[in-house]
Amino acid sequence: MAKFPLIDKRDNDDDHDLIDLDFVQSWAAIGDSFTAGIGSGTQLGNPISGSADWLCSRYSYTWPRLVDNAIGPAKKKFQFPACSGDRSEGIYRQAQGLEGDLDLVMLTAGGNDLCLAAMIRTCVLLPYSGEDACTRVINKAQENIDTILKNNIRQVLEALKPKMKNKNGIVIYNGYAPFFNTDNEDCATKQNWAIKSWGSWRYWLNKGLTLTVDRRKKFNTLVSNINKAIEEVVQEFQKDRNKKYDIEFSDWSAWPAEVDGQMCSPRGDGHYPEAKQPDQQFFQPSTWLRTRWNDDVELERASQRLLLGTNLYDSLLYKSADPRATALHQLDPRAVPKPPECPGDGDWDPTLGLGLPDTFGRVFHPNEKGHETIAAFALQNLAYVRAAQLGKRRDFCDLGKDEFTCWQTSEKRKAYTSYNSVSGKVREFCDDVERNRDRDRNNWHYAKTYYEGTPDVFEFKIQLTNDARDFIKSQCVESLDRIINSCDGNDPTNPMNWKFGGKWVRESYEYEINPKKNRAMITRPDAACNSRYDWLYDTYWFYGKGWCNNDWGGQSMLPAARDCVRANGVTGWSFEYYAKPEDHDGWEWKAEFKTHVWTKGRCFGNLNVQRAAGGYSHEWRDRHEDEKYQDAGCAGNG
């Protein structure tokens, strides 16, 4: 395998295969706060004169500055209009305002279209408006991904076309990275993320939401989904027959987990900086038994200490043999990207859409280590594109491929499982792989099937290729979580959020989720219930679908019935799943049991048991076509 091309010539370099950056004479970095670098290093500009650098919270130790340093003195001009708080429409204007004839543009864009500031404010730092408010802003973020994000990205990239050189111009589009480790609930139970000393006294009367694993997963899923949208648009521009420049997506999203650099790591206790996490990638507040933000001065000092003696080439990422492999519509030119209409827009807010000064606003942004990571990935991707332009891509290590597939959309598969079933087994599976994989063999595979004999039956699978042997548990968890959370969501034809599975090929690692049972689409839980009074006891029959999906009712309906019936309990319990629901009026299962007399009215006719088990029932009829969903309850004389 040929030597991995370097991105910068050093004094002792004499290898003719090296890729240097002397071709970059004029370049620009545009984007949001991830490019402006809020909080990383020293703030640029002058607050007295109100300079653009100051007003946009541009900082000194940022990935654009690191890239600029790597490009070296050969360049003639560097433009840096990135501005904290800018959404796609603002970045579109940044692109329009660039002086042209550019060899290179690097950018981040799209994060603020996800209402990131509103999510931080509503769900994490000032989480006192309740679960519904947090859910609304998260749902709005996903809605924007599904509806406006791709077009906004396209328009920004279209605006760059007249700004690039006619030949061999390059655009590097940097992605985002998931903020959170999701291994345990320590962040919710042992740390305090909510601010009480900032803002209204009413916050003191409200405990606020905690940063649970479920909430963290939702944040991480949004990051995965925005990266997916960016990558898909980048691929469109790569295939454009009339393309004006070469473009590459720089995906650094796996690196923070790889180096234990995310927030909420089990190794940390809420301190920042955290001695046990030397490669933290994001700014975070000190959440260790914190009641006030009185540690900001020390945080600033620690951040400045981190800068001393640090440079890109000494970073852990740059020392990796192949960091990229580690992680890995024509538009109306007059159109302007659509604003995201985030909750809280229009409120008086003097501080960049965050409602907070930079000491707070930098939270959920890359710190110095994070900017080193973004710079290293961006430079490697720049070298990769430049090598292709020069016909030297053969000299690169094979960087592999990254392919993400959802079975329902790509192959129209009909098999699906429930969200709770599949998400609840991710860590168990990855733990099993870690314990039981074949450590002495390359290209091993491991698969396991769960809930056999039930409608929810599915398989997890991992397959290694290209002579790979190592296993990365964090990547396993992240990959399966992304398939679960990025496929099948926000589909009005799938209101129960069934999971059809998919596949993620990440270089030499292939992860799959394969539901096994083809099923008609179920849009709401239902059952037909009948009962009979038998002198000493009542007998009940349920024919159901959409609930009791994998436990033979033993962890759902049966305990709910026992809790309601109480005296003498439930007897004669039997439960079966139908192999062919189409032969049973579409019902997937049947349950039959007995209780003592007079339990229908207080337990089953009023849906008490059904609701406790996560389901619903209507009254059974002799002919299935005579049944009505709205006839809630249970038929018969039980």
220: number of CA atoms within 13 Å, CB side? 29
- What does the alpha-carbon distance between residue 617 and residue 629 come to, in Å, rounded to a whole number? 8
Average of per-residue pLDDT across 313-331:
33
- The backbone region for 567, taken as left when phi is positive above 0, alpha when psi lies in -120 to 50, beta otherwise, is beta
Mean pLDDT estimate for the chain: 84
* pLDDT number for residue 351: 37
- The backbone region for 475, taken as left when phi is positive above 0, alpha when psi lies in -120 to 50, beta otherwise, is alpha
- What does the alpha-carbon distance between residue 263 and residue 184 come to, in Å, rounded to a whole number? 12
pLDDT above 80 for 255: yes
* pLDDT number for residue 128: 86
Average of per-residue pLDDT across 439-457:
96
* More confident: 6 or 59: 59
Q: How far is CA 87 from the centre of its chain?
A: 19
Preceding amide of 47 cis, omega within 30: no
* pLDDT tens figures, 91-140: 999 999 999 999 999 999 998 888 777 888 889 888 888 899 999 999 98
* More confident: 118 or 346: 118
Comparing 28-32, 277-281, 499-503, the range with the smallest average pLDDT is 277-281
| Angle between helix 368-389 and 63-71 (nearest 10) | 40
Comparing 266-280, 298-312, 446-460, the range with the smallest average pLDDT is 298-312
User: Based on the number of CB atoms within 10 Å of its own CB, is 299 exposed (0-12), middle (13-18) or buried (19 or more)?
Assistant: buried
* pLDDT number for residue 61: 94
Average of per-residue pLDDT across 448-464:
98
Comparing 179-183, 400-404, 466-470, the range with the smallest average pLDDT is 400-404
pLDDT above 80 for 19: no
Enter the tokens of residue 9. 């010539």
Average of per-residue pLDDT across 261-281:
90
pLDDT above 90 for 511: yes
* pLDDT number for residue 274: 87
Instruction: Kindly state the helix (H) or strand (E) to which residue 238 belongs, with its residue range.
Output: helix 213-239
Give the chain's domains with CATH numbers: 26-395 (3.40.50.1110), 402-515 (3.30.430), 526-626 (3.30.1360)
pTM exceeding 0.75: no
Q: Band of the pLDDT at 7, cuts 50, 70, 90?
A: very low
pLDDT above 50 for 315: no
* More confident: 362 or 260: 260
Q: Band of the pLDDT at 539, cuts 50, 70, 90?
A: very high
Q: Which of 376, 357, 241, 390 is nearest to 315 (CA)?
A: 376
What are the residue ranges of helices labelled H in 85-169? 88-96, 116-119, 131-144, 150-160
* pLDDT number for residue 295: 42
**In percent, how much of the chain has pLDDT > 70?**
82
* pLDDT number for residue 587: 98
pLDDT above 90 for 316: no
* pLDDT number for residue 376: 93
3-state secondary structure of 262: coil
**In percent, how much of the chain has pLDDT > 90?**
60
Which residue(s) pair with 5 in the sheet?
none
pLDDT above 90 for 504: yes
Average of per-residue pLDDT across 376-395:
86
DSSP string, 30-63: EESHHHHTTTSS-B-S-TTTT-HHHHTT-BSSSH
